[in-house]
């Protein structure tokens, strides 16, 4: 499959996601999360882009372009048909989905007015010094994305607590009880000079993802905006991608028997919202970033902070950038 074919396939997938979301009118958890945006946090506006005009993407031409006259002309026939089409769309679909519908039908959902996938390159900044290990992000993620809470080993995100003794970086004591869903129990006696800190983890949305490489049917793919997604309708459940992920970010959903992982809340970020975990973080330790957006504060942050990625030796092109990452973290 060449790049163009793949991009088109991916676009179709992203289009599907968006239209479903749009028809749901940001119902439920997404709307709930939207209301709870803290003032200091960056809840991005959608990239506004006027729809391209006439013809190219199957958009009907305007009345003026078609002309009108007193006699019954083919143009009037088209007008009637266009009217019925429009009316039908608005009855069946809600406003946002209706606007995108032309583009979806034309096979170019990325051209829909509300989101242009290729204009973005998503990642995340995690500021270790700001994380307090409250587990809000884990709970928000599970609630937002319907991640099982009663099954072991199902986490799209989790938080680890490191205790590092002085001069013993190679043997940290690490825990993450229930992925920090309930936060952490207090440490009785951390010991003299022991360094304690929290490390939130999630899919690194690698630009050269080993998980994408190994999937035998291409059910796992990188979207044009840099998000690693899974098409559950294609996934065989062979678990090769789970083996290939160096960060332990994938699991098998016991309900669907397919692989599941962080989608970077794709249904939210394509509507201009931030992820559920970022939304719920009380200290702003996690920040969704768009590396393609020149106005994104990420560029300033990268300039002024020392950032690192996990397991850089594996050259996965990880896009979860950690500030203040300790060498003991694995």
Partner 1 sequence: MPGVDGFIYPNEVELQWSVLIVLYPFLTGLVAGAFILASLERVFNVAAVRPTYRLALLTALAFLLVAPLPLQMHLGHPERSFSMYLTPHRESAMAMFGFVYLWYLMAVLVLEIWFDYRKDLVLAWRASRGLKRKLYGVATLWSDNISEKALRVDDRIGRFITIVGIPSAFLLHGYVGFIFGSVKANPWWSTPLMPVVFLFSAIVSGIALVLLIYMALCRIRRVAIDMPCVDTIARYLFYAFLIDFSLEMLDLIHRLYEADESLRALDFMVKTRLFVSQIVLQILLGTLLPIALLAMVQLLRFSERTRRAIYAAAGALTLVGILAMRWNVVIGGQLFSKSFLGYTTYKMSFATREGLLPAILILILPFVILAVLIKVLPPWTGGGEEKPVKA
- The residues of the shown chain that bind partner 1, judged by CB under 8 A, are 1, 152-155, 158, 160, 170, 172-176, 178-179, 201, 210, 213-218, 234-240, 242-252, 256-258, 314, 330
**Which residue, 314, 269, 271, 310, is CA-closest to 289?**
269
Instruction: Between 52 and 182, name the residue whose CB sits nearer to partner 1.
Output: 182
Instruction: Between 30 and 137, name the residue whose CB sits nearer to partner 1.
Output: 137
Closest separation in Å from C-beta 180 to partner 1: 9
Closest separation in Å from C-beta 320 to partner 1: 14
Q: Which two tokens stand for residue 120?
A: 């973005």
Instruction: Between 10 and 22, name the residue whose CB sits nearer to partner 1.
Output: 10
What is the greatest pairwise CA distance in the chain?
94
Give the list of residues 6+ apart from residue 264 with CB closer than 8 angstroms, or none. 122, 124, 203, 205, 227, 275, 288
Cα dihedral sign, 230-244-308-292 = negative
Closest separation in Å from C-beta 138 to partner 1: 9
Instruction: Between 4 and 35, name the residue whose CB sits nearer to partner 1.
Output: 4
Closest separation in Å from C-beta 314 to partner 1: 6
DSSP 129-177: GG-----HHHHHHHHHHT--SSSTT--SEEEEEEEE-TT-TTS-EEE-G
Closest separation in Å from C-beta 232 to partner 1: 10
Q: What's the rounded Cα separation, in Å, for the pair 240 and 150? A: 24
Are the beta carbons of 140 and 276 closer than 8 angstroms? yes
Instruction: Between 112 and 159, name the residue whose CB sits nearer to partner 1.
Output: 159
Instruction: Between 81 and 239, name the residue whose CB sits nearer to partner 1.
Output: 239
Are the beta carbons of 109 and 12 closer than 8 angstroms? yes
| CA dist 13 → 42, 61, 131, 137, 223 (Å) | 27, 27, 34, 26, 9
Q: Which two tokens stand for residue 66?
A: 């078609």
Instruction: Between 298 and 329, name the residue whose CB sits nearer to partner 1.
Output: 329
Closest separation in Å from C-beta 52 to partner 1: 31
Instruction: Between 109 and 172, name the residue whose CB sits nearer to partner 1.
Output: 172
* H or E stretch covering 300: helix 298-304
Closest separation in Å from C-beta 182 to partner 1: 13
Strand-pair category, 286-290 with 251-253: unpaired
Instruction: Between 26 and 154, name the residue whose CB sits nearer to partner 1.
Output: 154
Closest separation in Å from C-beta 221 to partner 1: 9
Phi, psi of 111 (to 5 degrees): -85, 0
Closest separation in Å from C-beta 61 to partner 1: 37
Cα dihedral sign, 21-144-142-275 = positive
């Amino acid at each position: 499959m060449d790049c163009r074919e793949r991009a088109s396939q991916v676009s179709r997938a992203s289009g599907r996601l968006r239209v479903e979301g749009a028809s749901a009118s940001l119902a439920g958890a997404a709307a709930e999360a939207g209301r709870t945006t803290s003032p200091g946090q960056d809840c991005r506006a959608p990239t506004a882009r006027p729809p391209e005009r006439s013809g190219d993407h199957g958009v009907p031409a305007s009345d003026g372009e078609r002309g009108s006259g007193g006699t019954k002309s083919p143009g009037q026939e088209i007008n009637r048909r266009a009217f019925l089409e429009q009316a039908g769309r608005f009855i069946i679909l809600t406003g946002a989905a209706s606007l995108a519908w032309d583009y979806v039908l034309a096979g170019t959902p990325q051209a829909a007015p509300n989101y242009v996938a290729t204009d973005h390159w998503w990642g995340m900044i995690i500021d270790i010094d700001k994380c307090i290990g409250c587990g809000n992000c884990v709970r928000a993620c599970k609630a937002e994305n319907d991640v099982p809470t009663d099954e072991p080993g199902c986490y799209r995100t989790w938080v680890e607590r490191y205790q590092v003794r002085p001069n013993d970086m190679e043997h940290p004591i690490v825990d993450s009880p229930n992925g920090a869903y309930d936060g952490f129990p207090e440490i009785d006696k951390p010991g003299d000079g022991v360094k304690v800190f929290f490390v939130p983890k999630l899919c690194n949305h690698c630009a050269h993802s080993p998980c994408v490489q190994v999937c035998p049917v291409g059910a796992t793919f990188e979207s044009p905006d840099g998000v690693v997604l899974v098409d559950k309708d294609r996934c065989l459940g062979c678990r090769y991608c789970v083996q290939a992920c160096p960060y332990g970010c994938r699991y098998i959903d016991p309900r669907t028997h397919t692989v599941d992982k962080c989608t970077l809340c794709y249904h939210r970020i394509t509507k201009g919202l931030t992820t559920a975990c970022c939304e719920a973080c009380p200290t702003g330790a996690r920040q969704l970033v768009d590396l393609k957006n020149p106005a994104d504060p990420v560029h300033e942050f990268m300039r002024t902070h020392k950032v690192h990625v996990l397991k850089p030796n594996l050259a996965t092109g990880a896009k979860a950038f950690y500030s203040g990452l300790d060498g003991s973290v694995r």
